Amino acid sequence: MTTFSLNDIFVQVFNDLFSYIDINHKFMCEVPSSSLNSTEEVNTLVGISGDMEGNVMFGYTDKTARTIASKLLGTDKIDDIDIYVKSALADFYSEFCKQFTYKLKVETAFNVSSGEKKYILLSSNPTYISGEDMFGAISKVPSKKLFFKVDGEKFGIAYSLEQK
Amino acid sequence: MEDSTEVAVNKFDVLFNLAKKSFEEIMVEVTGEAIDAQPEFSIAPEDRLSLSIIIGLSGNTNGRILLNTSVEYGQNIAVAMNFGDPLDNEDDLHVYLAEFANMFCGRAATHINNEFGKREIWISPPAIFSAKDLDIITPNVSSVRAYYECPLGKFIVDMGFSENSYDDF
């Protein structure tokens, strides 16, 4: 039985990373869960496996993708979402999931009432997904969705993680 | 003596062949007919809503398995899994396809872990996406594909591997 919230860890990592790249950001709310997620313009999916398994999907606007990429690549303006931009975004979300799984391992080690347990938590390569009228399902059970505001734009993190 | 690149390529070949074998086995179980990989083809995006199932791979080998098809062909799989009966509602499509992907990737993980005699890969649950002009890119992976055409439709098994680990701290 754990005594910490996954939402808190997501928000903490979100604040750390967006502060680091110096982009305005704010956690807004958690929205009711759904098994079929309406996706955003641009999405990045990262699979989690090991002692906890599931998927984390970041959904954001094209403008946010360009804002994040310009900070990461050190340019003023991103003209095209090319492979270099997609790669930079993938690395950013990979870092997000690494920090998330690291914090989760630390929290779990200190907060599991049944005693300390060494967690195996692995994250897969981030995958960039976009398309018109897109629908996505990241799990068979309802997933949670957190909403943030990034530089005035909507930013969502949908996740479904189950302890094995 | 083989260099490390050659060893990695051979390993990826073994992993890909086991993934293909798993897909073929599961398709036989679902359709009752044997299928073989075929020459390259495309699934025309202009007249079909694309559908992709993504399964993350991690562990000693990182990457992802992508199963590309169309919504129409995905529905054929779902109906075949439902013993030929139409689906009760549209959302069931994702449930059936997630189960199909679980069967396929679970079998692949079993074959791979048996082949290597240890826990070589871990798989994450499948995620399913459908869209017009669906664009799915996993940067930093090199991928190999197998093409299948059968009475249920056209399917492309795309397995991508990365040399760098995404889990190291």
- Return the DSSP state at A135: E
Residue range A6-154, CATH number: 3.40.1550.10
Chain A positions with Cβ closer than 8 Å to B: 35-36, 39, 45-50, 53-55, 57, 83, 86-87, 90-91, 94, 97-98, 101-102, 122-140, 160
pLDDT at A45 over 70: yes
CA distance B138 to B158: 11
**pLDDT value at residue B169:** 39
Size of interface A-B (CB pairs under 8 A): 143
Residues B5-18 have pLDDT tens digits of 666 668 888 999 99
Mean pLDDT of A96-118: 73
Q: Which two tokens stand for residue A80?
A: 């095209």
B81 touches chain A (CB under 8 A): no
CA distance A123 to B167: 6
CA distance B123 to A143: 18
Per-chain mean pLDDT for chain A: 85
pLDDT at B168 over 50: no
Domain boundaries, chain B: 4-41+49-134+147-161
| CB contacts, 8 Å: A163 with chain B | none
What is the band of B21 on the pLDDT scale with cuts at 50, 70, 90?
very high
Cβ burial of B44 (10 Å; 0-12, 13-18, 19+) is exposed
Q: Is B166–A135 a contact, with Cβ atoms under 8 angstroms apart? A: no
The listed CATH number (3.90.420.10, 3.40.1550.10, 1.10.10.10, 2.60.40.10) that belongs to domain B4-41+49-134+147-161: 3.40.1550.10
The answer to whether the CB of A41 falls within 8 A of the CB of A153 is no
Mean pLDDT of A118-138: 85
| Closest partner CB to A122 (pick from B58, B125, B133) | B58
Domain boundaries, chain A: 6-154
**pLDDT value at residue A39:** 74
Mean pLDDT of A17-36: 84
Q: Which alpha helices (DSSP H) does chain B contain, by range?
A: 4-31, 71-81, 92-116
| Closest partner CB to B128 (pick from A50, A125, A136) | A136
Q: Is A87–B140 a contact, with Cβ atoms under 8 angstroms apart? A: yes
Query: How far does B15 lie from chain A, in Å, by closest CA?
Result: 16
pLDDT at B67 over 90: yes
Closest-CA residue of B relative to A159 is B127
| Closest partner CB to B129 (pick from A83, A134, A140) | A134
What is the band of A113 on the pLDDT scale with cuts at 50, 70, 90?
low
